[in-house]
Amino acid sequence: MIPDNIQALAPNMVQWRRHLHTHPELGYEEYDTQKFILSTLRAMGHHPIVAGDTGVVVDIGTDGPIVLARADIDALPIEEESPIDYRSRREGVMHACGHDGHTAMLLGVAQVLPQFLDKIPGRARLIFQPAEERHPGGALKMIRDGVLDGVIRVTGLHLQSELPAGKIGARPGVQSANSDRFDILIEGKGGHGSAPHHTIDPIPVMAQMIMAMQTIISRQINPTDAAVLTISAAQSGSAYNAIPSRAELKGTVRTFNQDVQNRIIEQMRQVMEGTAETFGAHAELQYRKGYPSVVNSQEEWKIFKDVVEKFAGRDVWIDVEQRMGGEDFAYYLQQRPGVFWNLGAHDPRYPYPHHHSQFNFAESVMPLGVWIMVQTILAFIREPLSPSGARQTENS
């Protein structure tokens, strides 16, 4: 199914991907990554420009409808523990989510796309976006720098290590969750560990809050409304014989529905204030709404599914479930119709989830990713916008 000229890109993409994996950079620090992308694109004969501080944009094709395709380029603050020979050389930084593969595939698209766009009027705008993993997300900076100007549709992909290698899918409508973060700061009164009656110990306050907040989802939210409240860090004190004066909780909330999101915030505040008052302490909630839900437009999802079935085969398609993960590609989809899709990349040698210190994926799927991305761009260029899609573009 995959043409020989695209399959032949595999060694280059593996080389690009492993170079990026060896030299990962965090969000808004991707200076070496940016230089590598710029030099690689220029060697292909393209004329890329800088956007979003550490991002890259390149237009390919002639005048006509513009379709945007995006890859994210940043890594995570994780110390890699993989036994591979191309493991990260940067202490405490690792490509643990597949962004190195996304970048390599979009470079592959840049390599082959000119030969396809020679035959039709239209342009592809390939963007290499920084800081997807760093709130508030690099997508907003790229948008402010004008990457959506003139664009009629958008698309992007994400490798999924838990899906069978070579399977492709997307979901019409809501595909990912609202992704929020919170901090709870608890103020008590410190003192000596031998005299707790002279203190207001923040640690029991923190413990009580943790237990009480677990009931928000199970007892305050309708069971038919999917939601997650995770407390991921609890910090207080450092000595054996001293009661600290402060404690801090950190965590995340994931929802699909804005009303549910707001109700959880209200319940968290009530639990926090009530618990603190009971113990004579004071607490403050710092809640930050993060990435909105990824919402694929119905028409573009159908176009994409037809592309997959035509150019990869019906047996390749997989109906993906809604995910609680966050993704700042949602910001592009708020302003232009499009589809964000998944490419299965499970490698049985690396049975580790995304954001794990030994995460890896099957590099063999990258030519398929390029092939489907190319054909999606072409289909999005050829297919006229529906009236609703046209209005969305004009009003954004």
Q: Would you please indicate which residues are annotated as catalytic (active-site) residues?
A: 74, 132
Neighbouring CB atoms inside 10 A of 3's CB total 12
Query: CB of 66 within 8 A of CB of 123?
Result: yes
> How long a stretch of residues is the chain?
396
Query: CB of 68 within 8 A of CB of 127?
Result: yes
Residues 6+ apart with CB under 8 A from 289: 178, 180, 261
In the block, tokens 């030969």 appear at: 115
Query: CB of 159 within 8 A of CB of 345?
Result: yes
Helix intervals (H) in 54-201: 99-117, 138-144
Q: DSSP string of 54-75?
A: TEEEEEEE-SS-EEEEEEE---
**Phi, psi dihedral angles at 218 (to 5 degrees):** -75, -20
**What secondary structure letter does DSSP report for 216?**
I
Separation of alpha carbons 267 and 219, rounded Å: 11
Residues 6+ apart with CB under 8 A from 6: 108, 112, 367, 370, 371, 374
Q: Are strands 151-160 and 338-344 parallel, antiparallel or unpaired?
A: parallel
Nearest Cα neighbor of 375 from 302, 297, 312, 329 is 312
Q: Which two tokens stand for residue 205?
A: 């306050």
Separation of alpha carbons 208 and 279, rounded Å: 10
Separation of alpha carbons 171 and 67, rounded Å: 20
